[in-house]
Amino acid sequence: MVSFAAMAQDTIVLQSVTVNAEAVRANAAESVMERKIDTALLKRLNTVTMSQLLIQHSPVFIKTYGPGGIATASFRGTTASHTLVLWNGFQLNAPTLGQVDFSTIPVFMTEQIALKWGSGTSANSGGLGGTVNIENIQHFGEGLILDLKQTYGSFNSFGSFLTAGYSWKSHLVRIKAYRTSSDNDFEYNNIGIIPHQVMKQKNGEFVDYGLMPEYQWQHRNSLITIVSWNQWSDRNCPQIMPNVNNTNTKEYTENGYSRNFISYKTYWNSGKLEVKSAYFYEKQHYFLETYTSIGTTVTSINSINDANVFHQIADVEQDLYKSWKINGKIQWDHEMVKSNNYDGIKKRDIVSFYAAIVGNLLNPIDLRFTLRNDIVDGKSAGFFPTATASYNCVYLKGLKISVGYSHNYRNPSLNDLYWNPGGNPDLKPENGRIFDGNLNYTCTFGGFSVESQLGTYYSEVSDWIQWKPTNYRYWVPENVATVVAYGVEAHLKMNYLYRDWKFSASGNYVYSHTTDETDGRGLQLIYIPLHHANAFAEMKWRTWNLNYTLEFTGERKTSMNANEFPLFRLYPYTLHHISMGKQIGKFNVEFRVNNLTDVDYQAVMWRAMPGRSFEICVNYKF
Amino acid sequence: MKKVLLLLTVIIVVTFTSCKKDNNKVEPVQPIEHRGVYILNEGTFTYANSSLSYYDINGKTVTNHMFASVNGSPIGDVGQSLTRIGDDLYIVVNNSKYIYKVDAKTIVYKAKLENFTSPRYMLPINENKAYVSDLESPGIWVVNLNTFSINEFVEIGNSTEAMVKIGDEVFVSNWSNYYLPGTSNKTVQVIDCVNDILVAEIEVAQEPNAMVVDKNNNIWVLCSGGYSGDKDPSLICIAPSTRTILKRFDFNPTAGDYPSGLAIDGAGETLYYMNGTYSGLNVYKMSVDADELPDNQFITSDGMVFYNIKVDSVNGDIYVTNAKNYVENGTVERFASDGTQLDSFGVGISPSFILFR
């Protein structure tokens, strides 16, 4: 571990903090359970949404309703509710639905994205599939910060992104602001009507904008950070293909959130302490208006959900003896939701106690044990342990083999508990047990470097919550299913440098077998493809760069039938995207073609998806 | 650089040329020849996977996905009900807000009538017009059958559900006020179907969801009691001419009773309905002359998820749909008039409406 004395001499303290974190992660038992998205890639794909980034460059599967529509993420054969999203350590999953819409997270608002799975998710409840960790990272002593991006593309799509600020030796102010909008009226082949017809998508317009001021102050061994992430979106909801000719329905959402936190970090020779406090406000407003053909509005669904969440976290890390260190965390989350879909205001308090111990046993074996106890509304949810062992191969440098076990749970969302009608206050939490094994290998020779990862997992989730239609003609969630998921994740990344040339290629392949074992038939869950993959190749020459991305999604089922009727199958599809860019002084110009081969596909049944589209992005960086 | 670019281009073009398969193949389906039953399967809400099945009673064969096979497109989102008028079959598609008109024998598409708000059932009034009830509109749509267009919307103040026609009057139940807060969900309204005007209103019990007409031309109204709050599930018999309640049988709301799916035999003498809690309904049988509700189940669900019921007016066989878990294909369970099971056949997702032909 880097000593603090060394860090104090460093003018760029936050980088030292990063180094510190790296030092902790040098324990292989921790590093094998996570993957960071390449930072160069994050910078280049700064103008897209997190959903686009993850489907193209990570093993996470994204179920998307199309541009401007909901996009949810699932890890390792689980569902969107099992993907926990942490922003600087705070949970983003709304207490109402329990899920995160990745289309509302612009990559622009982050500097680091790391994926964690298995026992890597042990510090929080809910991430039975995995966690997506989003961080904001600032650097001191860099002077003026000014970065402007403007994009324009097909379907009258605009994006404007501004980062401005100043970074002194021990102070930093930065503000990020963005606005994206699109008419989203692409042409597609509507196969849901008679006769099939090529038409433009209607009612798909959206506008999103956001503002994130940040302040940071570093004094001696301490660091204070204040960040406020504010976002608004106004999106129309296009109809499913068979319904497009309805002129009497208008469906739209007006969502917004304000996520604010203050954190105090202090370091000493052999450890660190972080105390942070956050207040999140999230508004979800859904509108459905129906008009009669005689012109009057007969129905107006006006669903307003206001969620207020307070998070308090104290996190301490201390070196013990030799390579062993201990980490303790206490967290208190207070959720309060006011919704016209609930009967009154609903609250929930979750207090969580967490301890982890990591260290090295004999030289090549790294170990990590964690234990967490959560108290939900004064009642213990149980004790949840994890254990990971990692072996650093002494015969082949760069090879790490690890195995892990974790036990975790997920609380029902407040919608599950209190939605009126249907909410089921008697729901139990979901209970998950996960075994995983990973093989990591990295090596470099000459200008060539390889990073590879082969992961395999087996998880069993009991008391899985499913909303089911009932004789009462509304849906009710129940702890009905036991779901078993197992699969393989393969990742490969290669870099090659030769004179002025830089080649890189990476890819992910995921096999996820997820079955409902409740009735003994073992059918794959809907919307979880057995196979999905992506690949990326980049070539840089002096100021030029050329990129190619491939995105493959296997067949998905839309019902729990062993044989799906052909019309209701979601067929596999492969998308290709290319882009070319050039640096001209302080400017960078990039031209992108998405869905190069104009593939006609459906990601969600009867939702139109765009064919080939173009985009140009101009970036000025001071 | 050129070589690499060329290679890349070749790889892209050769390996992944655009594959625009049209998976919606139109397949010939044998036209309907024999007496049988149309089954409309609701499908999953917002999935637009509703489907139409036909069961040939003599041959005991079932043909599923008839509409999609013949027409190459889905029925739409949440098929609600079927009505046959002459050679045409009308499919009311609730969440797609339209009605498809197809040939009753070949299921070949003829026309589509759009822009309802939440259409439920269609009732022929005469050869020129039909009524369509609506869950989200306070009234009845009047459809011109000759031009297949909406003639007018008759406002009657409440949402409309089940309809029966007796003489020149249509009795329509006001099932739910979920979408129209403040309106009635415990009445049956009477419409003069010659002049399309509201003439009377009869208070029944909460959420009248189904109606049938018996041998005495009296109307039986099944009220589920509503899904929450003060429930009063009841089976009520109305004299249409005097608009009075002749009989009222109350279910037991504290036991979770939630009756639905009222059916009557061909002679108009025996009622069948389903009752139970939301997790399971059983079938009950009752004479229209009975003085109290039956104590015992007539057909036990035995783990099946009964969803709707109809009786064959020719031989008294009872058809009960089994929706299973609502996300996989269901079945139709056939029972003889004495309640013994005959057989069952597989249909689509959430089989909800049965129409004898």
The mean pLDDT of A298-314, rounded to a whole number, is 89
Q: Which range, of A240-249, A583-592, B215-224, averages the lowest pLDDT?
A: A240-249
Task: Flag if A596 and B12 touch (Cβ within 8 Å).
Answer: yes
CB pairs under 8 A between A and B: 168
pLDDT (0 to 100) of residue A530:
96
pLDDT (0 to 100) of residue B230:
61
A574 Cα distance to chain centroid: 22
pLDDT (0 to 100) of residue A1:
32
The residue among A407 and A250 whose pLDDT is bigger is A407
Task: Flag if B77 and A240 touch (Cβ within 8 Å).
Answer: yes
Q: Which residue has the tokens 């799906």?
A: A564
Collect all residues of chain A within an 8 Å Cβ-Cβ radius of residue B307. 471
Task: Flag if A246 and B12 touch (Cβ within 8 Å).
Answer: no
* A303 contacts chain B (CB < 8 A): no
Look at residue A189 and give its three-state secondary structure: strand
pLDDT (0 to 100) of residue A25:
38
| pLDDT one-digit tens code per residue, B85-101 | 999 999 999 999 999 99
Token pair in block for residue B155: 């406002």
* A605 contacts chain B (CB < 8 A): yes
| pLDDT one-digit tens code per residue, A387-441 | 999 999 888 889 999 999 999 999 999 999 999 888 999 999 999 999 999 999 9
* Interface list for A 310-329 with B (CB within 8 A): none
Token pair in block for residue A7: 């860090």
Spatial separation of the C-alpha atoms in residues A326 and A394, rounded to whole Å: 26
First to last CA, chain A: 35
pLDDT (0 to 100) of residue B17:
43
Share of chain A above pLDDT 70, in %: 94
Spatial separation of the C-alpha atoms in residues A100 and A124, rounded to whole Å: 16
* Interface list for A 247-276 with B (CB within 8 A): 247-249
pLDDT (0 to 100) of residue B277:
73
Nearest 5°: the CA angle A567, A573, A577 is 145
Spatial separation of the C-alpha atoms in residues A223 and A15, rounded to whole Å: 12
Q: Which of A227, A226, A225, A231 is nearest to A211 (CA)?
A: A231
Q: Which of B55, B133, B66 is nearest to B103 (CA)?
A: B66
For residue A195, is the peptide bond before it cis, meaning its omega torsion is within 30 degrees of 0?
yes
Q: Which range, of A287-301, A445-459, A466-480, A538-552, averages the lowest pLDDT?
A: A287-301
* A294 contacts chain B (CB < 8 A): yes
* A597 contacts chain B (CB < 8 A): yes
Collect all residues of chain B within an 8 Å Cβ-Cβ radius of residue A247. 115
Q: Which range, of A143-147, A180-184, B275-279, averages the lowest pLDDT?
A: B275-279
pLDDT (0 to 100) of residue B15:
45
Spatial separation of the C-alpha atoms in residues A86 and A226, rounded to whole Å: 17
Spatial separation of the C-alpha atoms in residues B43 and B39, rounded to whole Å: 12
pLDDT (0 to 100) of residue A452:
94
- Place A29 in a pLDDT band, splitting at 50, 70 and 90: confident
Task: Flag if B281 and A568 touch (Cβ within 8 Å).
Answer: no
Task: Flag if A196 and B48 touch (Cβ within 8 Å).
Answer: no
Task: Flag if A196 and B44 touch (Cβ within 8 Å).
Answer: no
Question: A262-297: b or e for each residue (b if 16 or more CB lie within 10 Å)?
Answer: ebebbbeeebbbbebbbbbebebebbbebbbbeeee
The mean pLDDT of B289-307, rounded to a whole number, is 93
| pLDDT one-digit tens code per residue, A589-612 | 999 999 999 999 999 999 999 999
pLDDT at A172 over 90: yes
- Place A21 in a pLDDT band, splitting at 50, 70 and 90: very low
pLDDT (0 to 100) of residue B207:
93
> Which of B18, B75, B350 is nearest residue A599 as measured by Cβ atoms?
B18
| pLDDT one-digit tens code per residue, B178-198 | 888 889 999 999 999 999 999
> Which of B137, B180, B328 is nearest residue A561 as measured by Cβ atoms?
B328
pLDDT at A324 over 70: yes
Q: Quickly count: other Cβ atoms within 10 Å of residue A300's Cβ.
A: 12
pLDDT (0 to 100) of residue B13:
45
> Which of A196, A292, A600 is nearest residue B117 as measured by Cβ atoms?
A292
Q: Are A467 and A81 in contact (CB under 8 A)?
A: no
Q: Are A124 and A91 in contact (CB under 8 A)?
A: yes
* Biggest CA-to-CA distance, chain B: 92
pLDDT at A4 over 80: no
Q: Which residue has the tokens 């429930």?
A: B231
Pairing of strands A271-291, A249-268: antiparallel
pLDDT at A24 over 70: no
Q: What's B299's DSSP letter?
A: B
pLDDT (0 to 100) of residue A294:
57
Q: Quickly count: other Cβ atoms within 10 Å of residue B350's Cβ.
A: 29
Collect all residues of chain A within an 8 Å Cβ-Cβ radius of residue B117. 248, 290-292, 298-299
Pairing of strands A544-553, A573-584: antiparallel
Question: How far apart are the CA of B51 and the nearest CA of chain A, in angstroms?
Answer: 10
Element (H, E) at A54: helix A50-57
Q: CA distances (Å), B353 to each of A210, A572, B43, B261, B296, in order?
A: 49, 33, 12, 10, 25
| pLDDT one-digit tens code per residue, B200-242 | 999 999 999 999 999 999 999 999 987 665 678 999 999 999 9
> Which of B118, B278, B280 is nearest residue A476 as measured by Cβ atoms?
B278
Q: Are A62 and A72 in contact (CB under 8 A)?
A: yes
Q: Which of B150, B172, B167, B41 is nearest to B94 (CA)?
A: B41
Spatial separation of the C-alpha atoms in residues A392 and A399, rounded to whole Å: 6
- Place B141 in a pLDDT band, splitting at 50, 70 and 90: very high
Look at residue B5 and give its three-state secondary structure: helix
Q: Are A558 and B47 in contact (CB under 8 A)?
A: yes
> Which of A243, A537, A566 is nearest residue B76 as measured by Cβ atoms?
A243
Question: A537-549: b or e for each residue (b if 16 or more CB lie within 10 Å)?
Answer: bbbbeeeebbbbb
pLDDT (0 to 100) of residue A19:
35
Question: Which residue type is seen at B328?
Answer: E
pLDDT (0 to 100) of residue A9:
33
Pairing of strands A379-392, A83-87: unpaired
* Biggest CA-to-CA distance, chain A: 81
What is the overall mean pLDDT for chain B? 90
Task: Flag if B137 and A471 touch (Cβ within 8 Å).
Answer: no
What is the overall mean pLDDT for chain A? 91
Q: Are B188 and B210 in contact (CB under 8 A)?
A: no
pLDDT (0 to 100) of residue B229:
54
pLDDT (0 to 100) of residue B233:
92
* A498 contacts chain B (CB < 8 A): no
Mutate to test the interface with A, among B325, B331, B349, B352 (most CBs of A within 10 A): B325
| pLDDT one-digit tens code per residue, A37-58 | 999 899 999 999 999 999 999 9
> ipTM for the complex?
0.89
Q: CB under 8 Å to B80, separation ≥6 — which residues?
A: B40, B42, B92, B93, B94, B119, B120, B121, B352, B353
